[in-house]
Structure formats: C-alpha cells, structure tokens
Amino acid sequence: MTGEILKIFDKLYPFDGVCFLHYDKQKPWQLLFATILSAQCTDARVNEVTAELFKIFPTLEAFAEADILQIEAAVRPTGFFRNKARHLQGAAQQLLANFGGKLPREIDALTALPGVGRKTANVVRSHIFKIPCIVVDTHVSRISQRLGLARETCPVKIEHELMLILPEEHWIRFNQQAILHGRTVCSARNPRCGNCALNSLCFSIDFDKKSCDNVVTG
C-alpha cells in the first residue's frame, strides 16, 4: 500500500526540491532563521516577515549585535516573538563563535542551537545539504496517521516510523507532497475526503460520511 500512496503522490505533486520558505541561497543561515520563525506560524506570514527582516539584519553579525527589542519588533507578526527573537540572536552568536558563520550539517550540532529541534534541523539538512530527511511538521504527522503510515503521535517516533517504510530517495519528496496535500485537501478540520485521490487507501475515512472520523488532527 505504501508504494501505491507514493505513486499517487508523485502524480499529484510531481516535483522535487521545493522549499516553501524564502531565503537567499548565498546565505543559507536565512533558511534556518525562517524555519525557527515558522513555529506556530504559516509559511506565507513568515515569508512576509523575512522579506523585511533580512533587509534590517542582512548578516549574522547584525543579528548577533542587535538590540533584542529591534529583533522582537521585526518578528512580532510570527507570534511568540520574544522567544523567537532570543533564538535568532542566540543562533547567530553561536554560529559565529562555534562554526565560523557556517551552518553545520550534523543534526546534533544543529539541534544544539537555540530554538532548533529535529524538524528545523531536518529542513536545513534536506534543502541546504541535500541529505535525505523526514521533516515531521503538523501536515506530515496528520497525513501519515490518516493513511496508516504511522501509528505514533510523537514527531520523533513518526520520523523513525516513516524512515523504515519509505524509500530513502523519496524522503524529501514525501515531506513536500504531504505538506501540499495537507494544505489543499487533507486539512485538519473538514478534510475534502470525497475529492481525495487517496481515499480508497485511507485508514481514517468514514465512507458513509465521506469525511475523516476519530483521527488525530495535529
């Protein structure tokens, strides 16, 4: 069944390498910072904020030396702005002090930075370093559970479940496909099950109601 799901996803979303967060490829640290800001915030809002944020603070040094209140004001629309501002400044300072201003590729080094968990680290590793990773955000978590690909609710456990059943060359693609499917069809509330190309393979659909029933919405 996993193979059938991937075939359908490939037909629906036939591409690789899409990043939903905007950043300057000459400044890969910007993706790290954008992903930190994306916690509990939409990518669209983050992209609006970072378009101005990276003009105000164009370098790691600018973040590291800034008045924290200036950073807070700039990232306020993303929510939890005080914590996020501290994380951005702390990450900038540690990248400069410990890594010469370069992003490390090792997950342990990335997750040691302020505000960086496995999801954020894996976004960076997959897009910047092209390392196959499973990025478990709310959409990947929900889609995986509804399709019966994962039984766990903990993101780290879901990540490892998916790594066992998905071919490694499909990991990055699956992240993007599940996110798009979650945004456009399989939403947390009122999923469009009747219009879903995967409904015949879905463990959670109630075919009488043509909607999902008793599922984790995450």
Q: Which residues does the annotation mark as catalytic?
A: 119, 137
> How far is Cα 218 from Cα 29, in angstroms, rounded to an integer?
28
Q: Which amino acid is at 49?
A: V
User: Residue 142 gets which letter from DSSP?
Assistant: H
Q: How far apart are CA 8 and CA 118, in angstroms?
A: 28
Q: Write down the H helix ranges in 76-116.
A: 81-99, 107-111
Give the Cα separation of 216 and 65 in Å (integer). Answer: 43
* Whether the Cβ atoms of residue 130 and residue 145 lie closer than 8 Å to each other: no
Q: Smallest Cα–Cα separation from 95: which of 26, 39, 29, 35? A: 29
Give the separation between CA 41 and CA 91, rounded to whole angstroms: 19
Give burial (CB, 10 Å; 0-12/13-18/19+) of 46: buried
> What sign does the dihedral 6-8-11-13 (CA atoms) show?
negative
Q: 3-class SS at 212?
A: strand
